[in-house]
Structure 1
Amino acid sequence: MKKTEDKSVIYKSLWIMGTVMILAVLIIELVSIFLIQRDRRKTERLFSNTIESYGQFWEDKFASTSKALLLMSGTDSTPYYQQLCISKDPLTVETAKVQQQKIMIEMGERYGREMMLFVYVPERNIYFVSTEEGTTYAYQRAFKEKIISYIANQYQEPEKNWIFMEFDGHQYLARIYSAENGYIGAAFSLERIVSGFVGERKDLCVEVRNNETGEIKIHQGTRKSGISTTCVYPLKYTNAQIYVSMDEGMLDPGGTFGTLLLMGVMMLAIASILMAIGLQGKTVFAPLEQLRRAMEQYSTGDLDVRLPERENVSQIGQLYQTFNHMADQIQILRIDVYEKELERQRARSRFLQVQIQPHFYTNILNLIHGMAQIQDFEEIQKLCRVSAAYFRYLMGQKGTFVPLKEELRCLTSYIEIQHCRYKDMLEIQVNVETEMEDEMILPLVIQTFVGNSVKHNIMLVPHLEIELTVKREGEHDLLILIEDNGLGFKKEILDKINRNESIEEEGEHIGIQNVKERIREFYGEAYELKITSQPGYSEIRILLPRIEKQ
């Protein structure tokens, strides 16, 4: 009976695996729906980006044309327009006509003859134009009459944007500038703007509308009666908006039917999965749910919870037995583990206290502020880079022990920060052999003592010199020597440190006190910390057992 039930669980599991494999084929359909939607979004983004790029292309043309018109009408570039308007010498005026028209023709050629350029001086009855490609003489005359009529009756200086104008049934965007007693301007055909986007495509419908009135100025392409997607792009420097519509079928080649079919298959797959789960609920999922509730209850602190013993030896019955056995063992060991964890937490708290140096953070910020005032950007970049590396190490997740090379990398960042602050007032020499870099030590031991030396001596000696040496002492110990030429420790502080007494109440060298407690926590009594100090010379000798890298 036991073997039969044991096999039953296995067969049921295999049956579920087979069902999942069959359903995996159906899940591919769901992925297909996702891919269709993703491709549709890509097409929409491409559609929108294309319209935006084309709109920006014309905005650049409007901007550059406006700038060119202003330059031609000004005095800083060529004087020909000014001579046309104000010169009293007939020969100068005629020469200016020829030169100005030459400039306008060259400008029209640069723009591919896509616009109409004109100059009009009413008082002297001067008018000439550089035409767009393909215009007839009659069309030019109609353009001239429209420009002259508009200037005489409607022109209000200054025009803020390119405005709509109609010439002989054709729509334009025009810009007119008034300078001296004349006018200079340009006009772009809306037909060119629209046809340049539509081209030979039959699936697009493009309109240009007046942004203020909503009036459709030009329309090209075939309107679709079905669902379509429309993108609107307002042209800067004008009152125009481009409306581009695309048939929904171009965005979704599979069509709605394909999507619905895939959705139906997906729903069938979900129904199959639910049926499989329901069939297994009584024999597999319900016992597992009971196990989950027991584990959850146990995790909330109810250490007396146990699962009922099952008569069979199935996998679930073994899980129940394992849980009960585990709970019994944890109850036996929990007090000892709890006490050890409390001690670890205290050590961790002391480690965090070493890490938290608000005065150091604020000093760095003040230093950056000072550098910014004198615009020393190169030093600011350097200080930000080394500070980021330093704080990344302090705040990063580290194990109990770290490789010596990581500690030295942190120390290097700290030294560079201090050099930014004190320049030539500080010199630090590091003597570490390359093969020593993989030795494991407690983090921030070296940096704490070096930082203590800098903090208590940098402003009190003309030139602070610190020397760090790390080497092996015998086969089983690691020796760290830190020497400086500072003022040295106060005698009462030094005596307490060497007697392993607490110095926390003194309000100074708190970092050293924390390091001592952390070293004692993780190395026990198998370490040595001795400080020799006198005015002008201090030596910190730390002897630690070597830690084998795991």
Structure 2
Amino acid sequence: MKNNHLRYIPNSISFKLLLSICLCVVPMVALLIYNNQQSHNVLLSQVDSTHRNMLQIYTVQLDSQLNSASSYLANLALYENDPQIIALSGSESAVKLATMRVKNDMDDRMLTNNFLDGYFLWVEEKSGYVTFYNCVNPLHPITPGDDLKAFIKEQAISEGTNFSWQFRHFRNKDYLFLIVGKDGIYTGAYISLDNLISEFEPSDVPGSHLAIIPPADEASYLLSLPEGIQSIAVRSESADLLMMEHFSRNEITKILPLMQQYSWLISTLLFLLVIVLLVLVKHIVTDPLIRLVAAMHHIEDGNLDYRMPPEHASVELALVSSTFNQMIGEIQNLKINIYEQQLNVQKAQLRNLQLQIKPHFLINSLNMVYNLMGTSQIPLARKLIQHSIDFFRYMVHVDEHLVPLHAEINHVKAYLDIQSVRYQDQFIYSLEVDPTISDMLIPPVLIQGLVENSMKYGLSLDSILRIDIRITAFEKEYFPYARIEISDSGSGFSEDILEKLNAGKKILREDGSHIGIHNITQRLRFLFGDNASWEFKNRNGAVNTITIPATFSDTALDSPD
């Protein structure tokens, strides 16, 4: 017994999984080494992405302040009154007040702009005197002097208004200058590139440096960088400049243990490992599971005679296979017994539904015959008797689940002819049937039940009720279907009844309202399953639409004799 148990251990899933794990331990160590080799690429990519985002954000902030400064200076030089007053007014007090307002406005704006080094205003007055004001940023001020005033005058006179930020070299440093104006009135601003670089300088990457250059110098600048330098460039939208950050790859990756010389070996081992694992998993797990799924598909398709072949991959799967086969056999026997019981019960239910003859309808029919004979309307009484015979013969003698459509139509006509004698001019009806499906099989009293419901709830003394019966054929996934629509001009369904009817819910009302429709949907569900559908709605009255497969049989009941 013990030896037999030991004999099955090598074929168990647990042992095979344990063996597979042991076989994977050593290759996984090599895989970790290979992962370390690849990590420096990931790190470089992350650093590049992070710094590119930082540089883009910094450039957007710079563009925002450059645009704000450009708009302010253009408005001040071309549209504001104070520079005009300084240039053209002969009143000394007016000039002083205008100069003071400009100075205060520039000082206030400088407090909200941390990139600009200064604003300036250069105005040649009517008397020939030049008013020059330089508002500097307290965070990194530029020392005012005659050389600054002379430089600004030279730029304004030589170039005039350019409305764009330009690179300029002043006091052995590079600046961005903007000069706006005309006719002796010039405003502008300037920014030190060194200050822009110092504002950005990141600290997370050793050796990182930001350079600000014209876009035309990008190619020559990249060529000047030494080997192993990674660069990131973002172009400004507001100025003709390129923000370029560069850093050394070695400074970033030297903290990682690299084994590049073994990368080819690790790749080969990983490839072989994947092949081995795939073969093992396929033989031990995948193939048996595929066979099990295939067996389930056979069962799902209704083939309860299918049995799984014996499994030899492992003891557990062999047990699953044999248990599955045993279970399916038991289910097959149980299903046959349950189906036979349900069939007997449902036959009795259908028979009960088919044979429901409301006593008041029979009494009313006999009463109408009596009244007609009492008024000497003998031909009409005979006609009513004949229609009643046809009606009750159909109701009593139909013993089938399905009857031909033309038989049901004849029954509906008999019912409507009886009601036309009773209600005379209170209703009219139309009947349209596609002749290609007149022999299809439908549940008995299906159409008559819906027509009776329309008569019951649609008739009124105020108007003439119209009932339209329309039966058409169509195809659905290459299979013939029939659409049965009964509509009336009555008051229609209430909202709560409509919701319950479409949901197939049972309607519990003391007077039994619409119980007949619920019985019809229950019969359709039993006979056709998901292939049948129904819809109830209001459209100038009640509309009942039923869709069922159009099935035909040569042995079906032709007429309810």
Normalising by structure 1, what TM-score? 0.51
- For residue 322 of structure 1, report the CA deviation from its aligned partner: 2.6
- For residue 177 of structure 1, report the CA deviation from its aligned partner: 2.2
Comparing 283-292 and 47-56, the one that deviates more: 283-292
Is the 8 Å Cα contact of residues 11 and 313 (structure 2) preserved in structure 1? no
**CA distance, structure 1, for counterparts of residue 298 and residue 165 of structure 2:** 74
- For residue 197 of structure 1, report the CA deviation from its aligned partner: 2.1
Residues 213-292 of structure 1: pairs in structure 2 closer than 5 A: 214-215=216-217, 223-228=225-230, 230-249=231-250, 252=253, 254-255=255-256, 257=258, 268=269, 271-272=272-273, 274-275=275-276, 278=279, 290-292=291-293
Q: Does 1:194 align with 2:197?
A: yes
- For residue 120 of structure 1, report the CA deviation from its aligned partner: 2.2
Q: Deviations over 1:249-308 (max 9, x none)?
A: 455455582588689658646634643664686677655555455555665676554333
Q: Deviations over 1:303-331 (max 9, x none)?
A: 55433347999333223223333444555
Specify whether residues 208 and 252 from structure 1 end up closer, same or farther in structure 2 by C-alpha distance, changes over 3 A only.
same
Specify whether residues 160 and 100 from structure 1 end up closer, same or farther in structure 2 by C-alpha distance, changes over 3 A only.
closer
- For residue 245 of structure 1, report the CA deviation from its aligned partner: 1.8
Specify whether residues 321 and 163 from structure 1 end up closer, same or farther in structure 2 by C-alpha distance, changes over 3 A only.
same
Q: Does 1:492 align with 2:456?
A: yes
Residues 107-118 of structure 1: pairs in structure 2 closer than 5 A: 111=113, 114-118=116-120
- For residue 203 of structure 1, report the CA deviation from its aligned partner: 1.6
Q: Deviations over 1:377-430 (max 9, x none)?
A: xxxxxxxxxxxxxxxxxxxxxxxxxxxxxxxxxxxxxxxxxxxxxxxxxxxxxx
Q: What SS does the aligned partner of 1:48 have?
A: helix
**CA distance, structure 1, for counterparts of residue 220 and residue 100 of structure 2:** 36
What is the letter of the counterpart of residue 509 of structure 1? F
Task: Give the structure 1 partner of residue 54 of structure 2.
Answer: 50
Task: Give the structure 2 partner of residue 170 of structure 1.
Answer: 173
Is the 8 Å Cα contact of residues 171 and 217 (structure 1) preserved in structure 2? no
Q: Does 1:60 align with 2:64?
A: yes
What is the letter of the counterpart of residue 44 of structure 1? D
Is the 8 Å Cα contact of residues 115 and 188 (structure 1) preserved in structure 2? yes
Task: Give the structure 2 partner of residue 82 of structure 1.
Answer: 84
Is the 8 Å Cα contact of residues 52 and 233 (structure 1) preserved in structure 2? yes
Q: What SS does the aligned partner of 1:529 have?
A: coil
**CA distance, structure 1, for counterparts of residue 313 and residue 79 of structure 2:** 103
Specify whether residues 194 and 33 from structure 1 end up closer, same or farther in structure 2 by C-alpha distance, changes over 3 A only.
same
Residues 115-514 of structure 1: pairs in structure 2 closer than 5 A: 115-122=117-124, 124-130=128-134, 132=136, 135=142, 140-156=145-161, 159-167=162-170, 169-178=172-181, 181-198=184-201, 203-211=207-215, 214-215=216-217, 223-228=225-230, 230-249=231-250, 252=253, 254-255=255-256, 257=258, 268=269, 271-272=272-273, 274-275=275-276, 278=279, 290-295=291-296, 304-309=305-310, 314-329=315-330, 331=332, 492-493=456-457, 505-506=487-488, 508-509=492-493, 512=497
Q: Deviations over 1:128-153 (max 9, x none)?
A: 2426556456xx44443443333333
Q: What SS does the aligned partner of 1:171 have?
A: strand
Q: What SS does the aligned partner of 2:167 have?
A: strand
- Matched residues, number: 364
Q: What SS does the aligned partner of 1:206 have?
A: strand
Q: What SS does the aligned partner of 1:188 have?
A: strand
Is the 8 Å Cα contact of residues 2 and 314 (structure 1) preserved in structure 2? no
- For residue 191 of structure 1, report the CA deviation from its aligned partner: 2.5
**CA distance, structure 2, for counterparts of residue 265 and residue 217 of structure 1:** 39
**CA distance, structure 2, for counterparts of residue 240 and residue 153 of structure 1:** 22
What is the letter of the counterpart of residue 117 of structure 1? Y
What is the letter of the counterpart of residue 186 of structure 2? Y
**CA distance, structure 2, for counterparts of residue 32 and residue 493 of structure 1:** 81
Choose which of 14, 19, 28 in structure 2 pairs with 1:15.
19
Specify whether residues 506 and 25 from structure 1 end up closer, same or farther in structure 2 by C-alpha distance, changes over 3 A only.
farther
**CA distance, structure 2, for counterparts of residue 217 and residue 312 of structure 1:** 65
Is the 8 Å Cα contact of residues 168 and 176 (structure 2) preserved in structure 1? yes
Specify whether residues 67 and 294 from structure 1 end up closer, same or farther in structure 2 by C-alpha distance, changes over 3 A only.
same
Is the 8 Å Cα contact of residues 208 and 240 (structure 1) preserved in structure 2? yes
Specify whether residues 274 and 66 from structure 1 end up closer, same or farther in structure 2 by C-alpha distance, changes over 3 A only.
same
- For residue 226 of structure 1, report the CA deviation from its aligned partner: 0.8
**CA distance, structure 1, for counterparts of residue 43 and residue 510 of structure 2:** 70
Task: Give the structure 1 partner of residue 508 of structure 2.
Answer: 528
**CA distance, structure 1, for counterparts of residue 189 and residue 91 of structure 2:** 28
Is the 8 Å Cα contact of residues 297 and 305 (structure 1) preserved in structure 2? yes
**CA distance, structure 2, for counterparts of residue 514 and residue 322 of structure 1:** 46
**CA distance, structure 2, for counterparts of residue 265 and residue 518 of structure 1:** 63
- For residue 238 of structure 1, report the CA deviation from its aligned partner: 1.4
Q: Deviations over 1:192-246 (max 9, x none)?
A: 22233237886224332334xx1369989x9441151x33222232122211123
Specify whether residues 235 and 518 from structure 1 end up closer, same or farther in structure 2 by C-alpha distance, changes over 3 A only.
closer
What is the letter of the counterpart of residue 15 of structure 1? L
- For residue 43 of structure 1, report the CA deviation from its aligned partner: 3.3
Is the 8 Å Cα contact of residues 118 and 128 (structure 1) preserved in structure 2? yes
Specify whether residues 183 and 283 from structure 1 end up closer, same or farther in structure 2 by C-alpha distance, changes over 3 A only.
closer
Is the 8 Å Cα contact of residues 119 and 135 (structure 2) preserved in structure 1? yes
**CA distance, structure 2, for counterparts of residue 517 and residue 114 of structure 1:** 72
Is the 8 Å Cα contact of residues 118 and 189 (structure 2) preserved in structure 1? yes
- For residue 87 of structure 1, report the CA deviation from its aligned partner: 0.5
Q: What SS does the aligned partner of 2:509 have?
A: strand
Q: Deviations over 1:514-550 (max 9, x none)?
A: 62585667xxxxx7323699xxxxxxxxxxxxxxxxx
Specify whether residues 34 and 529 from structure 1 end up closer, same or farther in structure 2 by C-alpha distance, changes over 3 A only.
farther
Is the 8 Å Cα contact of residues 204 and 246 (structure 1) preserved in structure 2? yes
- For residue 62 of structure 1, report the CA deviation from its aligned partner: 1.6
Q: What SS does the aligned partner of 1:88 have?
A: coil
Is the 8 Å Cα contact of residues 176 and 184 (structure 1) preserved in structure 2? yes
Specify whether residues 216 and 513 from structure 1 end up closer, same or farther in structure 2 by C-alpha distance, changes over 3 A only.
closer
Q: What SS does the aligned partner of 2:258 have?
A: helix
What is the letter of the counterpart of residue 258 of structure 2? F
What is the letter of the counterpart of residue 272 of structure 2? A
- For residue 186 of structure 1, report the CA deviation from its aligned partner: 1.2
Give identity over the alignment, percent: 16
Specify whether residues 297 and 91 from structure 1 end up closer, same or farther in structure 2 by C-alpha distance, changes over 3 A only.
same
**CA distance, structure 1, for counterparts of residue 285 and residue 112 of structure 2:** 79
Structure 1: runs of 5+ lacking an equivalent? 341-488, 496-501, 522-526, 534-550
Is the 8 Å Cα contact of residues 117 and 131 (structure 1) preserved in structure 2? yes
- For residue 89 of structure 1, report the CA deviation from its aligned partner: 2.6
Q: What SS does the aligned partner of 1:530 have?
A: coil
- For residue 173 of structure 1, report the CA deviation from its aligned partner: 1.9
**CA distance, structure 2, for counterparts of residue 285 and residue 217 of structure 1:** 57
Q: What SS does the aligned partner of 2:156 have?
A: helix
What is the letter of the counterpart of residue 508 of structure 2? E
Is the 8 Å Cα contact of residues 177 and 188 (structure 2) preserved in structure 1? yes
Is the 8 Å Cα contact of residues 228 and 250 (structure 2) preserved in structure 1? no
Normalising by structure 2, what TM-score? 0.50
